[in-house]
Structures are given as structure tokens and as C-alpha cells.
Chains A and B, each alone.
Chain A
């Protein structure tokens, strides 16, 4: 067993990029760049190369770790840790046997495993057809491992994949589903209004999935809530930023604005007015960061303040489009995604994001823009927002 080599490359396939026509090269470059960044820690020596419609990552000893890490990189449809060999039939058969030996050693089933070989020829110059190779390699494998396998072409549980490429042949037995989506940064940049809750991390992740580079913007009410809140938001943001390899969090104190609104506004309007202030500040951050839209975790009707009227009232203060990836999600669906991404456990850590002192008992369900405008006209909103921006802390993730 000791002389069994481990897989030495990751084959990273991308699906949707094919749809992008002449932009494809740009997307591929972006994906390769993101891949290199993602591997900086787990496989710093890895070489990332584009080879006719896939990325081949040579990560040597760190191939398994690299494969795991790339599961969190948007743009890949599937990933396989693979062994490479030359185009000679004997080499392919030998490498296939190595792969099977390693895989079967870890396979618990004692019953014969439904099995097949699946060949893909990217290099059509190869003398045998895919079907011939399937059959001939399959025969070799069955001679050696026949006791543990039974051939099943329609519903295999174990598929030995063979990819014949111009440069080299790759053999693998596992095809992991990638994160899908588009490479982060390939579509543009946005600012996400990021709280310590369950929703905004999921919304942010979904924005990244569609190729958006996200800048994080959080608001806090220190000293009505503790600095632990900023720590929690940072920790959460770091978890989500993992999917774009890095990021920056703007932590803005909203305290003075909240105090002023609390004192001046009809109680029911407080929440909407706080959110309008956040939206304006986030818009200024977006301008500075050259971001073209805002992202929020709003879901229509989920809480009292998320009525259509209130959403309109809040949106009204920003010229930027507001993306709401969760708009039609049930809470349970959001929670399921949050668990999958790994933010749920962090989100439910008790650390209040807004003090009860500021929360109205009964938020207005149908806030009117004129009322908001009136209240704001009586306050020095622009100055206070300017001050809040000046006091904003920038945290690199």
C-alpha cells in the first residue's frame, strides 16, 4: 500500500462560463486568479493552468486539501482530484488500477459495488474511441478487483473517470460538485449592508455567487451595545469573505443618529429612519469603493418593517439599485443556507445589534416618505452622517 501514489492534480471544471462567448477569456482569467488566491494557504506552491476549458491545478502532496478548498470557490461546476499519466494504454490501465485500489481501500461496502468506466476524449487524435476505452479499461479493472465490483452502466455508484487531453491523460474516481455561480469580481462590485443576523450573511454569499465582489458595511450603537457586536460582525464577515478570499468591513457608529431620531421622530418611524440613514451612508461607501449597487438581506413581509411601503421608503434615499437576494425566501430556507455556508452558528451567538432603547414597541407598517422627509428636514442628517463616516472603522478581513 505504501507505494500507492496520491492524486497529484485537481481538475476544476466550469460550466456556466461557456455561455459567455467572447468574454470567456476574461472570466477564465478571473477564475484562475481567484483559484490562486484561494490556495495561498493550503497549497502555496500549487501551479494553476488553463487547459482547454478546465483549470488544472498541480498541488502535489496538497492535492486533497486543494480540492476541498476549491469547493468554496465560485465558478466551478465540479472538481476531481486526479492522477495523471501519458497516453499509452498500459499507463492508463496501471493508473486506473492505482486509483481503484486507493478508492476501494476506503470504501466500506462488502457487497459488490455498481461500477463503470467513463471516458472523455478532449483529444480526438487518441486512437481508441471512448466506448472502446471504457470497455477495455473496465475489463482490466474487473480482472484485478472483480470480487468487489459489478458492472452497471446505468446506475453506477463508483465511476472511474478517464479524461484524454492533448497534454496528458487524467484518471479519477470522485467528482465533487463545485460551488457553481460565477467567479467573484467578474460581474462587478457591491456594498452589502451586513448585520450580525442570519439573513445578511446569506444574502452577501448569494451576491458573491453571482460574481459580485462584496464590500461589507455594518452599523453599531456603541455604547448602547458592546464592542462585542463589531467583533461578531467581523467574525461573520470573515467567514463569508472566505468565499471571495478577502474583503473589507466598514463599521460605522450610528449611535448619534439613532439618538437624534429617537428624540425627534414618531416612535413607529424610528426603524425606517435608521435604515434610511444606513442606506445613505452605505451609498457613500459605495461611491468611494466604486460599487454599483447595494445588497440587503431583506425578505418581503418577514418582519414588520419589511412591508412594501417600508422597503420603498428606505430605497427612496439611494440612487443605487438595491439587490435583495432573499426577497422571496422563507426564514427556514435562509436558515438552511446559513447552515450550509457555516454562518448560522455564528449568527445565533447572543450579541445584540441594536439596543432596546432605540426600538419602538410598534414599528410603523406603512411608513410614508413625506413623514420621513419631514423628520429628516428637522435634523442635521447630512452633518451627522458625515460625522458617522468620519468615525467609521475599516477592518480588513
Chain B
């Protein structure tokens, strides 16, 4: 099996597996318990908090809020920050290619009477900063913009956007979805200057079911869940100790190796591009989002000729190459991804986009084999190859 769907999820890394081992066995305490077993669990949770703060560079460990994953972190940021700031206004801006967890939360705000507005892309796929500046208002309370898109890898200019927000929307909370950025694209947490960022463990070789929202110091968000006071009342509920330990270890690893990973991923994408050159009427979409360092090399979005991309996907899967169409989170729905439409693709072209996504566990040989499989499928589907 050649697994090229790492933007959907990744394999658990051996280091992370080792880190969680004790917590699958004897160390099963509740971090809220006051006996040694509980204190041991509490300490493990604190270590993870420090690992995450450290990985981001300059975050305060006390401002790390553990969640059930990226989706909950995004929900908490969008809903929680807007509700906290409602006395300043009800105007909300969100990125044109956001993950469904952000889009759906924004939709929920709209249903609750908020005025919501999408940011725009200029042709070519860069975030339209002029339009963003024009859209910012005194009563804007939230700007949610992802750093790296999950379907085609654009890196957006968060640093410039945040500067604009600070100048034109003094009450706005800036939320940045870092789920696809962390470990793939270098960034400075201080330069991002976000009020909150969301992270997910299983995209960087951790476990599913754990993520975090990291808040800027003294930033408040209203909780979505109520209970026993854990996570400073922002996200109560007995901590998912195993998931949190895995999250800490995975994020620390990802951040540590970002430069080498990036180089490795770029090489893989170049190998794939070579194959693609032999396939007529196909295109590797590398939309420059306008952000620093251009594009995430972890994601290769291919627009392929002929039938819809899911036909390609299943033929590749028959040959042991696992890819995806759109993003896995909504790959089962029939509708076309709003992100691809925002990029300027028409309905039909958007259905022809296949996503191959790499991780540090992917090697060149696999990508070459995947390229060869792609050409075989082209023959099967009677598409001309050079």
C-alpha cells in the first residue's frame, strides 16, 4: 500500500507510540484526582502543554486548551470568541477556503444574527488583502483565516492580514487554523500575532481525537461545553490523557523537524510533477496564496483529464495507491468543495481534482510508483500519455 492521503490523517509515529505506552497501562489516573496516580496523569498533561507552547515558540503553556481535535478547536474559537466580544459588534469575516469546521461555525453565527462575510481570493489564488482591508470594521469581532489550505496547499499571508486587522478592526479576534501548516511550513508564532490557533494531533502522526486551541495570553473565549472546570473552564471534561500525551509528543516532533520535512516533501512533489508532465491535459495546482514561503509541499492537487477524480481515485486504490478527492472530511458529500470554486475552478474542473498528500513517512520510490500507477490508470481510462 502506498499511502498518499496524509492530509486526511497520518500513521502513528513510533516515538509517539512509545510516549503513550505507560498511559495505556498502569498509569490510568484521572488528572483531577489528588492521589499519586492522578498527579502522575496531571503532570503528563502539563508536559504536553509545555511541549505545545514550546513547539509554537513563544506561547504560554497556561493558554493551551485541549480539545477533541481540530474541528472542536475551530468551533470553540469561532463561536467562543464571537460570543465573548458581542458587545463590540456582530461582524465576522472568514477565509474563502476555510475547513468545514470553520464554515459551519460561521454559519451558526449567521443563524444567530451575526453578519458574516467571506474574504476573497484574487485570480491565481492569493488572499485579496485590499478587499480584506476594505471589509474590516470597527464592529468586526472575528477574523478566521487558515494558514495553509487543506485541499491545495496554499499558504496565506496571515502576518499581513493580522497587521491589517489590528489597524482597522481593533476589537477583532484573529483565529488561525494551523492544522495543515504545523510541521509542513515554517512560520513564526509571534509574527502570526493570532489571538488563537488550532492544532490537531493526527495530522502530525499523533492519535485521532485530540487537538488544541492555543490562545494568546489574556484572551477569553466563551465555552461550548460545561462541566467540572478542567481546562480553565473553557473546555471542561476529564482530560483525554493518552490523546494529549500523543498530541504533545507529535507536535514537538513536527515542529522540531519542519525544515528537513519541508525539503523532503518538496522533493517528493517535484518527482510527482515529472510524471505528470507525461499526462496530457493535466495540471498540478500550486496556487500561491500570497503567504511567506509560497505553498505547502505536503499537498499536491492534480487536475486530471477525463472522468471525475473519484474514478481515478478508485482505480489507483485498486493498484494499492491511496489518495483522496476534495478533502476527506467532506469527500462523501456530493457537493463540490467551496475552496476549489473560490480558486476559480468551474464545477466540472473542481470534480476533476485529485489530492495526493505526503508526510515524512513517504519516500521517493513510493511517489515514483504512484506516478507510474497514475499513467497505468490513464491507459485504462483511455487517456493519452506521452
Chain A residues touching B, majority SS: loop
Using Cβ atoms and an 8 Å threshold, which residues of chain A touch B334? 350
Interface core residue of B307, B311, B332 (most chain A CB under 10 Å): B311
Contacts of A225 in B (CB 8 A): 310, 314
**How distant is A234 from chain B, measured CB to nearest CB, in Å?**
16
Interface centre among A226, A227, A357 (most CB of B within 10 A): A226
Interface contact B317-A223, CB-CB below 8 Å: yes
A363 CB, min distance to chain B CBs, angstroms: 19
Whether A226 and B308, one on each chain, are in contact in the complex, defined by CB atoms closer than 8 angstroms, is no
- Give the Cβ gap from A321 to chain B, nearest Cβ, in Å: 36
A357: shortest Cβ distance to chain B, in Å? 5
Give B297-334 interface residues, CB cut-off 8 Å to A.
Answer: 307-308, 310-311, 313-315, 317-318, 332-334
Q: Is the CB of A349 within 8 A of B332?
A: yes
Give the residue of A222, A227, A350, A356 whose beta carbon is less than 8 angstroms from that of B307.
Answer: A356
Chain B residue at minimum C-beta to C-beta distance from A259? B380
C-alpha gap A351/B331 in the complex (Å): 10
How far, in angstroms, from A357 to B351 measured CA to CA in the complex?
14
Within 8 A of A (CB), among B349-386: 381
Instruction: Report how far A355 CA is from B307 CA in the complex, Å.
Output: 9
Please tell me if the beta carbons of B310 and A222 are within 8 angstroms of each other in the complex: no
A228 at the interface (CB under 8 A from B): yes
Complex interface bits, A341-370 against B, C-beta within 8 A gives 1, otherwise 0 = 000000001111001110000000000000
Q: Does A224 contact B (CB under 8 A)?
A: yes
- Name the distance in Å between B316's Cβ and chain A's nearest Cβ: 8
Render A217-246 as a binary contact track against B, CB cut-off 8 A, 1 for contact: 000001111111000000000000000000
Q: Hey, which chain A residues are within 8 Å of B311, CB to CB?
A: 223-224, 355, 357
Alpha-carbon gap, A68 to B27, bound state (A): 44
Whether the Cβ atoms of A350 and B318 lie closer than 8 Å is: no
* Max chain A C-beta neighbours (<10 A), residue from B308, B313, B333, B381: B308
Q: What residues of B have a CB within 8 angstroms of the CB of A224 in the complex? A: 307, 311, 314-315
With a cutoff of 8 Å between Cβ atoms, the chain B residues found around residue A357 in the complex are: 307, 311, 381
Given A356-B307, A356-B308 in contact, is the A350-B333 Cβ separation under 8 Å? yes
The docked-state distance in angstroms from the alpha carbon of A356 to that of B348 is 13
Residues in chain B near residue A349, CB distance under 8 A: 332
Q: Which residues of B contact A222 (CB under 8 A)?
A: 314, 318
> Do B333 and A223 touch (CB < 8 A)?
no
CB pair A223–B314 under 8 Å, yes or no, is yes
Tell me the smallest distance from the CB of A220 to a CB of chain B, in Å: 11
Give Cα A226 to B333, complex, Å. Answer: 14
Which single residue of chain B is at the shortest CB-CB distance from A224?
Answer: B311
Give the interface size class of chain A: 10 to 19
Is there an interface contact between A226 and B310, defined as CB atoms closer than 8 Å?
yes
Closest Cβ–Cβ distance, residue B333 to chain A (whole Å): 6
CB distance from A397 to the nearest CB of B (A): 22
Within 8 A of B (CB), among A144-158: none
User: Is there contact, CB below 8 Å, between B332 and A228?
Assistant: yes
Are A223 and B308 CB-contacts (below 8 A) given A349-B332, A350-B332, A350-B334? Answer: no
- Chain B residue, CB-CB nearest to A228: B332
Check if B318 sits within 8 Å of A223, measured CB to CB.
Answer: yes
Cα separation A236 to B316 with both chains bound (whole Å) = 27
Closest to B310 in A: A226
- If A356-B307, A357-B307 touch, does A351 touch B332 (CB 8 Å cutoff)? yes
- A222–B334 Cα distance when bound, in Å, is 18
Q: Which residue of B lies closest to A226 (CB)?
A: B314
Query: Which residues of chain A are within 8 angstroms of B381 by Cβ–Cβ distance?
Result: 357
Q: Which residues in A have their C-beta under 8 angstroms from that of B314? A: 222-227
Report how far A227 CA is from B322 CA in the complex, Å.
Answer: 13
Give bound CA distance, A223 to B334, whole Å. 18
With a cutoff of 8 Å between Cβ atoms, the chain A residues found around residue B307 in the complex are 224, 355-357
Complex: how many Å from CA A356 to CA B311? 9
A222 to B310, CA, bound (A): 11
CB-CB under 8 A from A356, the residues of chain B are: 307-308
Residue of A223, A226, A351, A356 with most chain B CB atoms under a 10 A cut-off: A223
Smallest CB gap from B351: residue in A? A356
Point out the residues of chain B lying under 8 angstroms from A352, CB to CB.
Answer: 310
- B377 CB, nearest partner CB in chain A, Å: 9
Residue of A at shortest CB range from B311? A224
The CA of A223 and the CA of B308, in the complex, are separated in Å by: 13
Residue of B nearest to A349 (CB): B332
Chain B residues near A351 (CB-CB < 8 A): 332
Distance in Å: Cβ of A110 to nearest Cβ of chain B = 35
The distance in angstroms between the C-alpha atoms of A384 and B307, with both chains bound, is 25
Closest to B317 in A: A223
Residues 364 to 386 of chain A near chain B (Cβ within 8 Å): none
Which residues of the partner chain B approach A226 to less than 8 Å between Cβ atoms? 310, 313-314, 317
Q: Report how far A356 CA is from B317 CA in the complex, Å.
A: 19
CA distance A357 to B306 in the complex (A): 9
Q: Which residues of A contact B308 (CB under 8 A)?
A: 356
Question: What's the Cα separation between A355 and B310 when bound, in Å?
Answer: 10
Q: A94 CB to closest chain B CB, in angstroms?
A: 47
B313 to chain A: which residues have CB within 8 Å?
A: 226
15 contacts between A and B (CB under 8 A): A222-B314, A222-B318, A223-B311, A224-B307, A225-B314, A226-B313, A226-B314, A226-B317, A227-B314, A228-B332, A350-B333, A355-B307, A355-B311, A356-B308, A357-B307
Known: A225-B314, A352-B310. 20 other contacts (CB 8 A): A223-B311, A223-B314, A223-B315, A223-B317, A224-B311, A224-B314, A224-B315, A226-B310, A226-B314, A226-B317, A227-B314, A228-B332, A349-B332, A350-B332, A350-B333, A351-B332, A355-B307, A356-B307, A357-B307, A357-B311
The 9 closest A-B pairs by CB, nearest first: A223-B314, A350-B334, A223-B318, A223-B315, A226-B314, A357-B307, A224-B311, A350-B333, A355-B311
Q: Report B's interface with A, CB cutoff 8 A.
A: 307-308, 310-311, 313-315, 317-318, 332-334, 381
